Amino acid sequence: MEGLLRSEEMTLCQMFLQSEAAYTCVSELGELGLVQFRDLNPDVNAFQRKFVNEIRRCEEMERKLRFLEKEVKKDGIPMLDTGDNPDAPAPREMVDLESTYEKLENEMKEVNANAEALKKNFLELTELKHILRKTQTFFEEAMHDPSMSDETMGLLGEELPRSGQPLRLGFVAGVILRERIPAFERMLWRACRGNVFLRQAEIESPLEDPVTGDQVYKSVFIIFFQGDQLKTRVKKICEGFRATLYPCPETQAERREMAIGVMTRIEDLNTVLAQTQDHRHRVLVAAAKNVKVWFIKVRKIKAIYHTLNMFNLDVTQKCLIAECWCPVADLDRIQQALRRGTERSGSSVPSILNRMSSKQIPPTYNRSSKFTQGFQNIVDAYGVANYREVNPAIFTTISFPFLFAVMFADMGHGMIMFFAALYIVLKEKQFGARRIEDEIFKTFFEGRYIILLMGAFSIYTGFMYNDIFSKSLNIFGSQWFAPAEPFSLATLSEFKKLQFNPNETYTGSPYPIGLDPVWQMAQNKIAFTNSMKMKLSVILGISHMFFGIALSLLNHRYFQKPLNIICDFIPSLVFLFCMFGFLVLRIFHKWVAYDSSMSQKAPSLLIGAINMFLFNYRDEHPDNPEVYHIPGSLQGFQCFLVVVAGLCVPWMMFFKPFYMRHQARFGQFKHQPLSVQSGDLLNHDHDFDNDQEVVHNNDTSGHLHQEEEQEEPFDFGEVFVHQAIHTIEFCLGCISHTASYLRLWALSLAHAQLSEVLWSMVLRIGFSSSGVGGAFMLVIVFMFWACLTVAVLVLMEGLSAFLHALRLHWVEFQSKFYSGTGYKFQPFCFDQILDHSADD
């Protein structure tokens, strides 16, 4: 019980590890994952620490592995994840690993360089092939285009006689990225003043860029121009736009010959390329088998050296000194791990684990199973508990799904939720192994047990409210009946609505469990359920808050603060009882003492509560015996309650600060903790070996100890203000929190109404028509209804109810006892380190 209620008892330990055994010991501790090391050299730069070279080597290895992984992924080779978890290799094996990776990387780089060169060659040849093919069509078009040839002829004809020599049009042909064509064309036009002629054609199939391996689309172009000056200029532009130019013979025969040559060379190249690829593939497949394991090994080594960097070196350089937090209960296991580590390293001198005492606040370590983990996360999200403070997670496992279910009360929706969660729970091993990265699924997966319980409790509350998809189940038979006397068939058929008098149409014994199904049909169903649900939520809320206050008693007793019991716990308990506990009693009284025959005389709870605080006991109708009168003795008691509640406020506000000032002045109780819920352990019995601790590490962590030794001077103003704020917060909180619990009713009402609307507006349409058409209609309408039910009612409403339940726990419940200002125990654990680095 104690283990679940409070976090583990922790202790600060000192470890003396032989230099040669330190590595293996830390490795064992990493596998164990129960020790949180403290950084003993916080002032030393990352690059000035002892093992920085080893870490650098690890990083270099990681880089090589990442490179290999990238190459493996590029080729789409599956990486074998056997899930085995090798121990961290010994330091001397690091050299082997390094050389292995080095070799692989170099081999890979060589293969890549070869492949790149080959691919570049291949690309050039393919481009040339395309050029030859496309230019062929350009030239052919030019031949067969009569208008064009006519024009050229005309032009040439004019010019020929004058110059006396044939006009030679030069041309260049090349390949360019398709998206650069427009700018290229424009630039050509501008730079050459329109004196060039550009033809271009797209290459349909994408080509592979040899450097990046991307598929790129390119176009073939051919530019005609006249004269050398233009030629240099065109070439410069081509260079500027990274177009590759290829020689293109002028006559058709030469072109054909060249094309044939190119084709054969491409074929040759293809075989060589295939062989290179094959080789690359073989290397990668071999590497892919081990990459994951290698990663684990390297990361473990790196983690170990990181940890070793936090250690202190002994004066003699023979051993390393570490300080760590560890749970007291696991000290034996840690000792064993150290022994194993020492044995493995072959060192003769054992490693020593020393418990130390410290005034520092230890970290909070709550052990949790896969079942409680989700609930613990809910609590931790608000704030990590102080060391040894009552941990509300264990109560949350039940109260959270229950409060959720009160708001989500519907058997049908609860079942959907329950079975969905059950599926995930039953398949959790498979799902867990698949490591799905999707964030939404992860959230659901991690909260699977919460959802399971929420579903189960919703079924229960739905059963109590007798609500299944907004309909009722008539299992035991309604306890209401319509006697034949006033409700003859004739009257029944004549009137649409009839009023039942509970005194005549009710059997007198209630429906065995839950709500009578007859209310489902009643016109005043909402009025009835509202009144009932409202009272229920007040009762649940007040008891939840009482429970919270009771837990604060456990805290005060554990931390031995009797003053807090007298000045905080008792007045707040009394205050809450006087204000609202009495209201709860009156609710029960009204339920039990009044039945339908006396409904006229039943007291109004709301007016009664208001009058109680106003001391207003005037009789409005002194002569009317039908109206409820508060009996005189109760009047006196109510006045007493209000006065007591009023007295609680100064009691809470003033008593403690003044008492503490008194103590401070007269010198007793020096060590009494000052703050209300600080939860520190100053007054425990570990003062005896403080000196020893300081001797061990006075050189590095001296400042920490100075911090510890400081004694807080008593500051009356601060304590008083703190206490005043606490009092005001609590008193106002009582009222606003009670009102806040009414959300249990409001959300339940909203949920019930929404599902009723969905039923009457959607599914009923499906039932309205008969025959074959009606059947089809029903199928379609049902589909709509089912989708809306899951999406809106289960998912959205579920989320909303979840958030409200979360709020009720964080704000209304935990504020009564939980300070949540601790810090979490973060053990040095390989599993976590590997998980995290796998995420990156």
Q: Which residues bind another protein (CB under 8 A)?
A: 45-48, 52, 55-56, 59-60, 62-63, 66-67, 180, 183, 186-187, 190-191, 233, 236-237, 239-242
We find the least distance from the C-beta atom of residue 97 to another protein, in angstroms, to be 17
Around Cβ 269, how many Cβ atoms within 10 Å? 17
Whole-angstrom Cα distance, residue 819 to residue 386? 7
Whole-angstrom Cα distance, residue 451 to residue 648? 41
Whole-angstrom Cα distance, residue 651 to residue 302? 58
Whole-angstrom Cα distance, residue 608 to residue 730? 24
47 or 688: whose CB is closer to another protein? 47
We find the least distance from the C-beta atom of residue 178 to another protein, in angstroms, to be 14
We find the least distance from the C-beta atom of residue 325 to another protein, in angstroms, to be 24
We find the least distance from the C-beta atom of residue 644 to another protein, in angstroms, to be 52
**Could you tell me if 297 and 86 are in contact, meaning their C-beta atoms sit under 8 angstroms apart?**
yes
191 or 630: whose CB is closer to another protein? 191
Whole-angstrom Cα distance, residue 20 to residue 320? 9
59 or 145: whose CB is closer to another protein? 59
57 or 388: whose CB is closer to another protein? 57
We find the least distance from the C-beta atom of residue 428 to another protein, in angstroms, to be 33
172 or 747: whose CB is closer to another protein? 172
We find the least distance from the C-beta atom of residue 300 to another protein, in angstroms, to be 18
We find the least distance from the C-beta atom of residue 190 to another protein, in angstroms, to be 5
Whole-angstrom Cα distance, residue 220 to residue 355? 79
Three-state secondary-structure class, residue 730: helix
Whole-angstrom Cα distance, residue 672 to residue 683? 7
We find the least distance from the C-beta atom of residue 308 to another protein, in angstroms, to be 16
Cα-based torsion angle of the residue sequence 681, 684, 689, 695 in order, rounded to the nearest 10 degrees: 10
Whole-angstrom Cα distance, residue 501 to residue 761? 31
Structure tokens at 131: 């050029």
Whole-angstrom Cα distance, residue 684 to residue 687? 8
Whole-angstrom Cα distance, residue 69 to residue 615? 79
Structure tokens at 749: 């009402």
Handedness of CA 130, 133, 136, 137 (dihedral sign): negative
Cβ burial 580-615 (10 Å sphere, 16+ → b, else e): bbbbbebbeebeeeeeeeeeeeebebeebbebbeee
Beta strands in 475-588 (DSSP E): none
DSSP notation for 538-566: HHHHHHHHHHHHHHHHHHHHHTT-HHHII
Structure tokens at 485: 């006397």
Whole-angstrom Cα distance, residue 541 to residue 584? 10
We find the least distance from the C-beta atom of residue 240 to another protein, in angstroms, to be 3
Structure tokens at 834: 């590997």
59 or 267: whose CB is closer to another protein? 59
We find the least distance from the C-beta atom of residue 92 to another protein, in angstroms, to be 22
List the Cα angle 724/725/729 in 5-degree steps: 120
We find the least distance from the C-beta atom of residue 48 to another protein, in angstroms, to be 7
We find the least distance from the C-beta atom of residue 520 to another protein, in angstroms, to be 48
210 or 350: whose CB is closer to another protein? 210
Whole-angstrom Cα distance, residue 628 to residue 83? 74
For the chain, the C-alpha Rg in angstroms (whole number) is: 42
Whole-angstrom Cα distance, residue 293 to residue 87? 10
β-sheet bridge partners, residue 225:
170
DSSP notation for 137-204: HHHHHHHH-HHHHHHHHHHHHHHHHHH-SPPPPEEEEEEEEGGGHHHHHHHHHHHTTT--EEEEEE-S
We find the least distance from the C-beta atom of residue 100 to another protein, in angstroms, to be 17
